[in-house]
Amino acid sequence: NHSGTAPILQLAAATFPNPGAPIHETKSYPSLRIEKNDLRSVSLLEVKAKVKDIAISRLRVTLRDVLHEGTFGRIFHGVLLDEKDPTKEKQCFVKTVKDQASEVQVTMMLTESCKLRGLHHSHVCTEEGEKPMVLLPYMNWGNLKLFLRQCKLAEANNPQISCGMSYLARREVIHKDLAARNCVIDDSMQVKICDNALSRDLFPTDYHCLGDNENRPVRWMALESLLNNDFSTASDVWAFGVTLWELMTLGQTPYVDIDPFEMAAYLKDGYRIAQPINCPDELFAVMACCWALDPEERPKFQQLVQCLTEFHAALGAYV
């Protein structure tokens, strides 16, 4: 029964800056700091209470076609009615869990959907007695990883992703799962960073369990994250370097021949993914800096923005 005034939890919106544009600090974001506690330590009631103050009516949501079906979840194409004008609507992705999903899996889905709260349009529905739904922006061009594989367009030098990550870093938000699969392309062909609410279902082979009942993006993780579960802006920089590699290889999987259980030892021994064919030496040097073992030796995102902006402009001069 979808009638009544079941709550949908609306998450505040913000837009990442355009590449190269100056950032004007006009607003503080006190709710954006990400706690470092394990997702499994948070109860379903706590998650619901955390976002209860921003509920909207479930009557505004209509489900359409099933776009993807995973082991525990489904992703729909949906429609969200405008709050002030019901004659207006916008498309969205809707993720929900299947009946056999455990409370832990439901809690993790809701918690992950709130990780970037305040940074992009999202909604969550948590009506009592029914499985929750997570609503995410609908992007016509879809997921960046799929786009790369289908369109064969390598734009690793484009500074858009580094701009978005610099934006997060200044607000002390740690992403923890930056990858091409967690970026989308909007109607104006701008790349946007999103969380992993959809990608865990769309790309299950990108996540591995190392014996602790939690699937992690092992091939994108910094050594300190693999060894000590230590995440920071510096570990996001490491993942950014891997994301650049994905862009240059048109969505290939990094470290594809390495057993996930051997990744930490492989990295500790100094090995890294090879330079992609047709990747300029200067660009691969940027990637390599991101993979320094010492987090303090990795570049800052603002430095990466400047470097890639200049590199992008230099290449454009020859086109």
**Catalytic residue numbers, as ranges:** 177
- Smallest Cα–Cα separation from 39: which of 176, 235, 178, 237? 176
- Which residues fall within 8 angstroms of residue 30, CB to CB, at 6 or more apart? none
DSSP strand pairing (215-216 vs 183-185): unpaired
73-81/122-125 β-pairing: unpaired
Instruction: Please give the torsion angle defined by the CA atoms of residues 207, 200, 97 and 35, in that order, rounded to the nearest 10 degrees.
Output: 90
The CA dihedral of 147, 301, 196, 21, to the nearest 10 degrees, is -60
CA dihedral 140, 144, 145, 148 (to 10 degrees): 90
Q: How far is CA 103 from CA 122, 150, 251, 282, 288, in A?
A: 21, 36, 33, 48, 41
Cα 146 from chain centre? 14
